[in-house]
A and B are shown apart, each in its own frame.
Chain A
Amino acid sequence: MNVEHWGLAVAFVVLGPLLGALLAGLDRRLTARMQSRQGPPLLQPIYDVLKLFEKDTVVVTELQTLYLWGFLFFMVISGFILFLGSDLLLSLFALTVSGIFLCLAAYSTNSPYSNIGSSRELLLMMAYEPMLIIVALGFFLVADSFRVSDIVAGSPWQVVQLFGILLGFLFILTIKLRKSPFDLSSSHHGHQELVKGITTDLSGSDLALVEIGHWYENTILLGWLYLFFAPWGVALALPIALVLFFAEVLVDNTHARLKWATTLKATWVVTGLFGVTNLMLLPLIT
Protein backbone atom coordinates (compact mmCIF):
# COMPACT_ATOMS: atom_id res chain seq x y z
CA MET A 1 0.00 0.00 0.00
CA ASN A 2 1.55 3.28 -1.01
CA VAL A 3 0.74 6.89 -1.67
CA GLU A 4 -0.47 6.13 -5.15
CA HIS A 5 -3.11 3.74 -3.91
CA TRP A 6 -4.30 6.11 -1.26
CA GLY A 7 -4.41 8.85 -3.88
CA LEU A 8 -6.58 6.70 -6.09
CA ALA A 9 -8.90 5.82 -3.24
CA VAL A 10 -9.33 9.43 -2.21
CA ALA A 11 -9.78 10.38 -5.85
CA PHE A 12 -12.57 7.84 -5.98
CA VAL A 13 -14.35 9.42 -3.06
CA VAL A 14 -14.09 12.88 -4.59
CA LEU A 15 -14.26 12.25 -8.32
CA GLY A 16 -16.01 8.88 -8.38
CA PRO A 17 -19.48 10.37 -8.44
CA LEU A 18 -18.47 12.77 -11.21
CA LEU A 19 -17.28 9.94 -13.38
CA GLY A 20 -20.41 7.99 -12.51
CA ALA A 21 -22.57 10.97 -13.43
CA LEU A 22 -20.81 11.33 -16.76
CA LEU A 23 -21.39 7.65 -17.43
CA ALA A 24 -25.05 8.09 -16.58
CA GLY A 25 -25.28 11.17 -18.80
CA LEU A 26 -23.64 9.42 -21.69
CA ASP A 27 -25.98 6.51 -21.15
CA ARG A 28 -29.02 8.77 -21.45
CA ARG A 29 -27.65 10.37 -24.56
CA LEU A 30 -26.86 7.07 -26.18
CA THR A 31 -30.31 5.79 -25.35
CA ALA A 32 -31.82 8.89 -26.92
CA ARG A 33 -29.75 8.44 -30.04
CA MET A 34 -30.84 4.85 -30.35
CA GLN A 35 -34.42 6.12 -30.29
CA SER A 36 -33.46 8.77 -32.85
CA ARG A 37 -33.84 11.57 -30.37
CA GLN A 38 -31.31 14.19 -29.48
CA GLY A 39 -31.37 13.53 -25.74
CA PRO A 40 -30.42 15.64 -22.75
CA PRO A 41 -27.09 17.40 -22.20
CA LEU A 42 -24.21 15.26 -20.97
CA LEU A 43 -24.31 16.86 -17.54
CA GLN A 44 -28.04 16.32 -17.14
CA PRO A 45 -27.70 13.84 -14.22
CA ILE A 46 -25.73 16.47 -12.33
CA TYR A 47 -28.36 19.13 -12.99
CA ASP A 48 -30.98 16.71 -11.77
CA VAL A 49 -29.23 16.08 -8.49
CA LEU A 50 -28.48 19.75 -7.88
CA LYS A 51 -32.10 20.47 -8.50
CA LEU A 52 -33.17 17.76 -6.08
CA PHE A 53 -31.13 19.46 -3.40
CA GLU A 54 -33.04 22.69 -4.07
CA LYS A 55 -36.34 20.94 -3.56
CA ASP A 56 -38.02 20.25 -0.26
CA THR A 57 -37.79 16.74 1.00
CA VAL A 58 -40.95 14.98 2.03
CA VAL A 59 -40.72 11.71 3.87
CA VAL A 60 -43.07 9.00 5.03
CA THR A 61 -40.90 8.32 8.05
CA GLU A 62 -37.89 10.31 9.22
CA LEU A 63 -35.86 7.14 9.62
CA GLN A 64 -35.75 6.56 5.87
CA THR A 65 -33.00 9.16 5.60
CA LEU A 66 -30.89 7.25 8.10
CA TYR A 67 -31.05 4.09 5.99
CA LEU A 68 -30.08 6.11 2.95
CA TRP A 69 -27.01 7.39 4.77
CA GLY A 70 -26.13 3.76 5.39
CA PHE A 71 -26.60 3.05 1.69
CA LEU A 72 -24.27 5.83 0.64
CA PHE A 73 -21.72 5.15 3.38
CA PHE A 74 -21.27 1.51 2.45
CA MET A 75 -21.24 2.33 -1.23
CA VAL A 76 -18.36 4.74 -0.68
CA ILE A 77 -16.56 2.22 1.54
CA SER A 78 -16.95 -0.45 -1.11
CA GLY A 79 -15.41 1.74 -3.79
CA PHE A 80 -12.76 3.01 -1.42
CA ILE A 81 -11.61 -0.53 -0.74
CA LEU A 82 -11.63 -1.34 -4.44
CA PHE A 83 -9.62 1.66 -5.52
CA LEU A 84 -7.27 1.35 -2.58
CA GLY A 85 -6.20 -1.90 -4.18
CA SER A 86 -7.36 -3.75 -1.12
CA ASP A 87 -9.60 -6.74 -0.70
CA LEU A 88 -12.00 -7.48 -3.55
CA LEU A 89 -14.20 -9.82 -1.52
CA LEU A 90 -14.60 -7.24 1.21
CA SER A 91 -15.48 -4.58 -1.33
CA LEU A 92 -18.15 -6.92 -2.62
CA PHE A 93 -19.57 -7.48 0.84
CA ALA A 94 -19.75 -3.74 1.43
CA LEU A 95 -21.57 -3.34 -1.87
CA THR A 96 -24.12 -5.92 -0.73
CA VAL A 97 -24.66 -4.20 2.60
CA SER A 98 -25.18 -0.94 0.80
CA GLY A 99 -27.84 -2.55 -1.37
CA ILE A 100 -29.60 -3.89 1.69
CA PHE A 101 -29.73 -0.42 3.22
CA LEU A 102 -31.38 0.96 0.11
CA CYS A 103 -34.00 -1.77 0.39
CA LEU A 104 -34.53 -0.92 4.04
CA ALA A 105 -35.13 2.72 3.14
CA ALA A 106 -37.78 1.70 0.65
CA TYR A 107 -39.31 -0.87 2.99
CA SER A 108 -39.54 1.71 5.74
CA THR A 109 -41.84 3.91 3.67
CA ASN A 110 -44.16 0.92 3.38
CA SER A 111 -46.13 1.99 0.34
CA PRO A 112 -47.13 -0.90 -1.91
CA TYR A 113 -44.94 0.34 -4.74
CA SER A 114 -41.85 0.72 -2.55
CA ASN A 115 -42.56 -2.68 -1.08
CA ILE A 116 -42.70 -4.40 -4.42
CA GLY A 117 -39.63 -2.49 -5.56
CA SER A 118 -37.54 -3.43 -2.57
CA SER A 119 -38.70 -7.04 -2.53
CA ARG A 120 -37.76 -7.32 -6.17
CA GLU A 121 -34.47 -5.58 -5.55
CA LEU A 122 -33.66 -8.16 -2.88
CA LEU A 123 -34.67 -10.88 -5.25
CA LEU A 124 -32.29 -9.50 -7.85
CA MET A 125 -29.54 -9.32 -5.25
CA MET A 126 -30.19 -12.96 -4.48
CA ALA A 127 -29.90 -13.64 -8.19
CA TYR A 128 -26.61 -11.88 -8.89
CA GLU A 129 -24.80 -12.35 -5.59
CA PRO A 130 -23.38 -15.83 -6.38
CA MET A 131 -21.97 -14.61 -9.67
CA LEU A 132 -20.28 -11.62 -8.05
CA ILE A 133 -18.70 -13.90 -5.49
CA ILE A 134 -17.56 -16.23 -8.24
CA VAL A 135 -15.90 -13.31 -10.00
CA ALA A 136 -13.90 -12.65 -6.85
CA LEU A 137 -13.07 -16.33 -6.50
CA GLY A 138 -11.95 -16.50 -10.11
CA PHE A 139 -9.55 -13.62 -9.58
CA PHE A 140 -8.32 -15.34 -6.44
CA LEU A 141 -7.50 -18.51 -8.32
CA VAL A 142 -5.71 -16.64 -11.07
CA ALA A 143 -3.88 -14.04 -9.04
CA ASP A 144 -3.64 -16.12 -5.88
CA SER A 145 -4.96 -13.25 -3.82
CA PHE A 146 -8.12 -11.28 -3.19
CA ARG A 147 -6.13 -8.08 -3.26
CA VAL A 148 -7.03 -5.79 -6.11
CA SER A 149 -3.47 -4.56 -6.46
CA ASP A 150 -2.29 -8.13 -7.06
CA ILE A 151 -5.03 -8.70 -9.59
CA VAL A 152 -4.09 -5.55 -11.50
CA ALA A 153 -0.51 -6.78 -11.60
CA GLY A 154 -1.66 -10.24 -12.69
CA SER A 155 -1.01 -12.19 -15.85
CA PRO A 156 -2.14 -10.68 -19.16
CA TRP A 157 -3.85 -13.99 -19.91
CA GLN A 158 -6.28 -13.67 -17.07
CA VAL A 159 -9.14 -12.45 -19.22
CA VAL A 160 -8.75 -15.53 -21.39
CA GLN A 161 -8.65 -17.76 -18.36
CA LEU A 162 -11.66 -16.04 -16.90
CA PHE A 163 -13.61 -15.70 -20.11
CA GLY A 164 -16.67 -17.58 -18.89
CA ILE A 165 -16.68 -15.56 -15.72
CA LEU A 166 -16.44 -12.36 -17.75
CA LEU A 167 -19.54 -13.40 -19.71
CA GLY A 168 -21.36 -14.18 -16.47
CA PHE A 169 -20.30 -10.84 -15.06
CA LEU A 170 -21.59 -8.98 -18.10
CA PHE A 171 -24.89 -10.77 -17.64
CA ILE A 172 -25.31 -9.64 -14.06
CA LEU A 173 -23.97 -6.20 -14.90
CA THR A 174 -27.25 -5.68 -16.70
CA ILE A 175 -29.04 -6.39 -13.44
CA LYS A 176 -26.75 -4.21 -11.37
CA LEU A 177 -27.22 -1.28 -13.71
CA ARG A 178 -31.00 -1.81 -13.54
CA LYS A 179 -31.25 -2.24 -17.27
CA SER A 180 -33.97 -3.96 -19.19
CA PRO A 181 -34.67 -6.93 -19.31
CA PHE A 182 -33.83 -6.93 -15.60
CA ASP A 183 -35.16 -3.55 -14.49
CA LEU A 184 -37.62 -5.24 -12.17
CA SER A 185 -37.12 -3.16 -9.09
CA SER A 186 -37.17 0.33 -10.47
CA SER A 187 -36.95 1.63 -13.94
CA HIS A 188 -35.54 4.66 -15.64
CA HIS A 189 -38.85 5.26 -17.27
CA GLY A 190 -41.85 6.27 -15.23
CA HIS A 191 -45.48 5.56 -15.94
CA GLN A 192 -45.79 1.87 -15.38
CA GLU A 193 -47.11 -0.62 -12.90
CA LEU A 194 -44.15 -0.09 -10.60
CA VAL A 195 -44.26 3.71 -10.67
CA LYS A 196 -40.63 4.11 -9.62
CA GLY A 197 -40.41 0.97 -7.56
CA ILE A 198 -37.79 1.23 -4.91
CA THR A 199 -37.46 5.03 -5.08
CA THR A 200 -41.18 5.82 -5.28
CA ASP A 201 -41.42 7.41 -1.86
CA LEU A 202 -38.04 9.10 -1.77
CA SER A 203 -37.92 12.74 -2.73
CA GLY A 204 -35.73 15.83 -2.69
CA SER A 205 -32.39 15.37 -0.99
CA ASP A 206 -33.24 11.75 -0.19
CA LEU A 207 -33.58 10.98 -3.85
CA ALA A 208 -30.41 12.94 -4.53
CA LEU A 209 -28.54 10.65 -2.13
CA VAL A 210 -29.80 7.64 -4.04
CA GLU A 211 -28.68 9.16 -7.34
CA ILE A 212 -25.23 9.95 -5.97
CA GLY A 213 -25.03 6.42 -4.63
CA HIS A 214 -25.80 5.12 -8.09
CA TRP A 215 -23.07 7.27 -9.58
CA TYR A 216 -20.61 5.74 -7.18
CA GLU A 217 -21.97 2.35 -8.11
CA ASN A 218 -21.42 3.05 -11.81
CA THR A 219 -17.80 3.85 -11.13
CA ILE A 220 -17.36 0.77 -8.97
CA LEU A 221 -18.88 -1.50 -11.59
CA LEU A 222 -16.71 0.02 -14.27
CA GLY A 223 -13.80 -0.67 -11.95
CA TRP A 224 -14.79 -4.32 -11.65
CA LEU A 225 -15.06 -4.60 -15.41
CA TYR A 226 -11.70 -2.91 -15.77
CA LEU A 227 -10.10 -5.50 -13.50
CA PHE A 228 -10.56 -8.22 -16.09
CA PHE A 229 -8.38 -6.31 -18.55
CA ALA A 230 -6.24 -4.47 -16.04
CA PRO A 231 -2.96 -6.31 -16.71
CA TRP A 232 -2.99 -4.91 -20.25
CA GLY A 233 -2.48 -1.40 -18.95
CA VAL A 234 -4.82 1.56 -18.77
CA ALA A 235 -4.51 2.59 -22.41
CA LEU A 236 -6.01 -0.66 -23.60
CA ALA A 237 -8.08 -1.80 -20.67
CA LEU A 238 -10.09 1.34 -20.04
CA PRO A 239 -11.49 1.70 -23.58
CA ILE A 240 -12.44 -1.98 -23.65
CA ALA A 241 -14.15 -1.70 -20.30
CA LEU A 242 -16.03 1.41 -21.45
CA VAL A 243 -17.16 -0.24 -24.66
CA LEU A 244 -18.47 -3.26 -22.77
CA PHE A 245 -20.10 -0.96 -20.22
CA PHE A 246 -22.02 0.87 -22.89
CA ALA A 247 -22.94 -2.33 -24.66
CA GLU A 248 -25.42 -2.62 -21.80
CA VAL A 249 -27.28 0.38 -23.22
CA LEU A 250 -27.90 -1.55 -26.40
CA VAL A 251 -29.23 -4.50 -24.41
CA ASP A 252 -31.43 -2.11 -22.46
CA ASN A 253 -33.03 -0.73 -25.56
CA THR A 254 -33.59 -4.00 -27.33
CA HIS A 255 -35.21 -6.09 -24.62
CA ALA A 256 -38.51 -6.17 -22.79
CA ARG A 257 -38.65 -6.75 -19.08
CA LEU A 258 -38.62 -10.32 -17.78
CA LYS A 259 -40.57 -11.77 -14.89
CA TRP A 260 -38.76 -12.30 -11.63
CA ALA A 261 -38.85 -16.08 -11.70
CA THR A 262 -37.33 -16.15 -15.18
CA THR A 263 -34.71 -13.65 -14.13
CA LEU A 264 -33.72 -15.63 -11.06
CA LYS A 265 -33.54 -18.92 -12.89
CA ALA A 266 -31.71 -17.48 -15.88
CA THR A 267 -29.14 -15.76 -13.69
CA TRP A 268 -28.41 -18.84 -11.65
CA VAL A 269 -28.18 -21.00 -14.73
CA VAL A 270 -25.75 -18.54 -16.29
CA THR A 271 -23.78 -18.42 -13.04
CA GLY A 272 -23.54 -22.18 -12.97
CA LEU A 273 -22.89 -22.61 -16.65
CA PHE A 274 -20.32 -19.88 -17.17
CA GLY A 275 -19.08 -19.08 -13.68
CA VAL A 276 -18.74 -22.39 -11.90
CA THR A 277 -17.68 -24.27 -15.03
CA ASN A 278 -15.01 -21.70 -15.68
CA LEU A 279 -13.74 -22.09 -12.12
CA MET A 280 -13.67 -25.86 -12.49
CA LEU A 281 -11.79 -25.71 -15.76
CA LEU A 282 -9.33 -23.13 -14.51
CA PRO A 283 -6.67 -25.62 -13.39
CA LEU A 284 -6.61 -26.96 -16.97
CA ILE A 285 -6.14 -23.55 -18.54
CA THR A 286 -3.32 -22.34 -16.35
Chain B
Amino acid sequence: MSFLKKSPWILHYAATSCNGCDIELLACLTPLYDVERFGIVNTGNPKHADIFLVTGSVNEESRKVVENLYAQMPDPKAVVAIGACALSGGIFRDAYNVYGGIDQVIPVDVYVPGCAARPESIIDGIVQALAILEERARDRKRQRKVVAS
Protein backbone atom coordinates (compact mmCIF):
# COMPACT_ATOMS: atom_id res chain seq x y z
CA MET B 1 0.00 0.00 0.00
CA SER B 2 1.20 3.45 -0.77
CA PHE B 3 1.15 6.18 1.83
CA LEU B 4 0.20 8.60 -0.88
CA LYS B 5 -3.35 7.46 -0.24
CA LYS B 6 -3.16 8.51 3.36
CA SER B 7 -1.71 11.90 2.85
CA PRO B 8 -2.54 13.55 -0.45
CA TRP B 9 -1.38 17.13 -0.46
CA ILE B 10 -3.02 19.37 -2.96
CA LEU B 11 -2.12 22.43 -4.92
CA HIS B 12 -4.92 24.58 -6.14
CA TYR B 13 -4.63 26.99 -9.03
CA ALA B 14 -7.34 29.11 -10.59
CA ALA B 15 -6.51 29.33 -14.29
CA THR B 16 -8.87 32.11 -15.33
CA SER B 17 -11.90 30.78 -13.53
CA CYS B 18 -14.87 32.82 -12.42
CA ASN B 19 -13.91 31.80 -8.85
CA GLY B 20 -17.14 29.90 -8.39
CA CYS B 21 -15.38 26.54 -8.43
CA ASP B 22 -12.60 27.88 -6.23
CA ILE B 23 -15.04 28.84 -3.54
CA GLU B 24 -16.53 25.37 -3.66
CA LEU B 25 -13.07 23.86 -3.48
CA LEU B 26 -12.15 25.89 -0.43
CA ALA B 27 -15.44 24.91 1.12
CA CYS B 28 -14.00 21.39 1.29
CA LEU B 29 -11.56 22.63 3.93
CA THR B 30 -14.27 24.06 6.13
CA PRO B 31 -15.60 22.22 9.16
CA LEU B 32 -18.57 21.02 7.16
CA TYR B 33 -16.51 18.85 4.82
CA ASP B 34 -13.16 18.88 6.67
CA VAL B 35 -10.98 17.07 4.16
CA GLU B 36 -8.09 17.09 6.62
CA ARG B 37 -9.84 14.01 8.01
CA PHE B 38 -8.28 12.18 5.08
CA GLY B 39 -4.94 13.83 5.53
CA ILE B 40 -5.63 16.22 2.67
CA VAL B 41 -3.75 19.48 3.10
CA ASN B 42 -3.88 22.49 0.85
CA THR B 43 -0.18 23.28 0.50
CA GLY B 44 -0.17 26.15 -1.95
CA ASN B 45 3.24 25.01 -3.12
CA PRO B 46 3.92 22.75 -6.10
CA LYS B 47 7.05 21.25 -4.56
CA HIS B 48 5.04 19.81 -1.68
CA ALA B 49 1.98 18.82 -3.64
CA ASP B 50 0.79 15.45 -4.95
CA ILE B 51 -2.43 16.47 -6.65
CA PHE B 52 -2.84 19.52 -8.80
CA LEU B 53 -6.37 20.92 -8.79
CA VAL B 54 -7.04 23.37 -11.58
CA THR B 55 -10.15 25.37 -12.27
CA GLY B 56 -10.93 27.71 -15.14
CA SER B 57 -10.66 27.76 -18.89
CA VAL B 58 -6.96 28.74 -19.22
CA ASN B 59 -5.83 31.69 -21.25
CA GLU B 60 -2.38 32.69 -22.46
CA GLU B 61 -1.46 34.31 -19.14
CA SER B 62 -2.36 31.38 -16.97
CA ARG B 63 -1.09 28.72 -19.38
CA LYS B 64 2.53 29.40 -18.51
CA VAL B 65 1.82 29.32 -14.83
CA VAL B 66 -0.01 26.02 -15.12
CA GLU B 67 2.92 24.56 -17.04
CA ASN B 68 5.49 25.87 -14.58
CA LEU B 69 3.61 24.61 -11.57
CA TYR B 70 3.11 21.22 -13.16
CA ALA B 71 6.83 21.01 -13.98
CA GLN B 72 7.82 21.87 -10.43
CA MET B 73 5.71 19.12 -8.86
CA PRO B 74 7.75 16.05 -8.00
CA ASP B 75 6.57 12.67 -9.32
CA PRO B 76 4.33 10.78 -8.73
CA LYS B 77 1.62 13.37 -9.27
CA ALA B 78 -1.92 13.66 -10.62
CA VAL B 79 -4.02 16.44 -12.10
CA VAL B 80 -7.69 17.03 -11.42
CA ALA B 81 -9.62 19.49 -13.56
CA ILE B 82 -12.55 21.03 -11.74
CA GLY B 83 -15.62 22.60 -13.24
CA ALA B 84 -17.04 22.87 -16.72
CA CYS B 85 -14.50 25.55 -17.62
CA ALA B 86 -11.57 23.35 -16.77
CA LEU B 87 -13.09 20.47 -18.67
CA SER B 88 -13.92 22.15 -21.93
CA GLY B 89 -13.97 25.92 -21.53
CA GLY B 90 -17.54 25.88 -20.22
CA ILE B 91 -19.49 29.01 -20.92
CA PHE B 92 -16.29 30.71 -22.07
CA ARG B 93 -15.64 28.09 -24.69
CA ASP B 94 -16.28 30.42 -27.58
CA ALA B 95 -14.33 33.33 -26.19
CA TYR B 96 -11.40 34.35 -28.39
CA ASN B 97 -8.82 34.30 -25.61
CA VAL B 98 -9.23 30.92 -23.91
CA TYR B 99 -7.71 27.57 -24.66
CA GLY B 100 -10.78 25.78 -23.38
CA GLY B 101 -9.87 23.08 -20.93
CA ILE B 102 -6.84 22.22 -18.84
CA ASP B 103 -6.03 19.19 -20.98
CA GLN B 104 -5.07 21.56 -23.76
CA VAL B 105 -2.07 22.45 -21.64
CA ILE B 106 -1.14 19.60 -19.31
CA PRO B 107 -2.30 15.97 -19.06
CA VAL B 108 -5.41 15.65 -16.89
CA ASP B 109 -6.27 12.50 -14.94
CA VAL B 110 -9.67 13.22 -13.43
CA TYR B 111 -12.45 15.48 -14.69
CA VAL B 112 -14.90 16.84 -12.14
CA PRO B 113 -17.96 18.29 -13.87
CA GLY B 114 -20.32 20.98 -12.65
CA CYS B 115 -20.77 24.70 -12.87
CA ALA B 116 -19.82 25.14 -10.16
CA ALA B 117 -18.56 21.71 -9.14
CA ARG B 118 -20.01 20.65 -5.79
CA PRO B 119 -17.67 19.98 -2.85
CA GLU B 120 -18.83 16.37 -2.69
CA SER B 121 -17.91 15.78 -6.30
CA ILE B 122 -14.56 17.53 -5.82
CA ILE B 123 -13.75 15.22 -2.93
CA ASP B 124 -14.83 12.31 -5.05
CA GLY B 125 -12.52 13.51 -7.80
CA ILE B 126 -9.62 13.61 -5.39
CA VAL B 127 -10.40 10.11 -4.21
CA GLN B 128 -10.35 8.88 -7.79
CA ALA B 129 -7.05 10.65 -8.33
CA LEU B 130 -5.67 8.74 -5.35
CA ALA B 131 -6.15 5.43 -7.10
CA ILE B 132 -4.24 6.75 -10.09
CA LEU B 133 -1.53 8.13 -7.83
CA GLU B 134 -1.09 4.81 -6.12
CA GLU B 135 -0.54 3.07 -9.40
CA ARG B 136 1.96 5.69 -10.45
CA ALA B 137 3.78 5.32 -7.15
CA ARG B 138 4.10 1.61 -7.81
CA ASP B 139 5.44 2.25 -11.30
CA ARG B 140 7.82 4.80 -9.97
CA LYS B 141 9.17 2.36 -7.41
CA ARG B 142 9.72 -0.22 -10.11
CA GLN B 143 11.49 2.34 -12.29
CA ARG B 144 13.78 3.31 -9.43
CA LYS B 145 14.69 -0.32 -8.89
CA VAL B 146 15.53 -0.71 -12.54
CA VAL B 147 17.68 2.40 -12.46
CA ALA B 148 19.40 1.24 -9.31
CA SER B 149 20.23 -2.17 -10.73
Contact = CB atoms under 8 A, between A and B. Distances in A.
Is A bound to B? yes
Interface of A: 28, 32, 35-41, 44, 47-48, 50-51, 54-58, 190-192, 195-196, 199-204, 207
Contacts of A195: 44-45
Given A44-B7, A47-B7, A190 B37 contact: no
Contacts of B48: 190, 196, 199, 203, 207
A56 to B, nearest CB: 4
Interface in B38-97: 38-39, 41-45, 47-48, 50, 72, 74-76
Contacts of A44: 6-7, 39
B47 A41 contact: no
B36 A54 contact: no
A55 B76 contact: yes
Contact of B45 (A39, A51, A190): A190
A55 B75 contact: yes
A54 B137 contact: yes
27 contacts: A35-B31, A36-B31, A37-B34, A39-B37, A40-B37, A44-B7, A47-B39, A48-B7, A48-B9, A48-B39, A51-B3, A51-B4, A51-B6, A51-B7, A54-B76, A54-B141, A56-B76, A190-B44, A190-B45, A190-B48, A191-B42, A195-B44, A195-B45, A196-B48, A201-B47, A204-B74, A207-B48
B31 A37 contact: yes
B140 interface: yes
Contacts of B4: 51, 54-55
B75 A56 contact: yes
B36 A58 contact: no
Contacts of B42: 190-191
Contacts of B45: 190, 195-196, 200
A38 to B, nearest CB: 5
Contacts of A48: 7, 9, 39
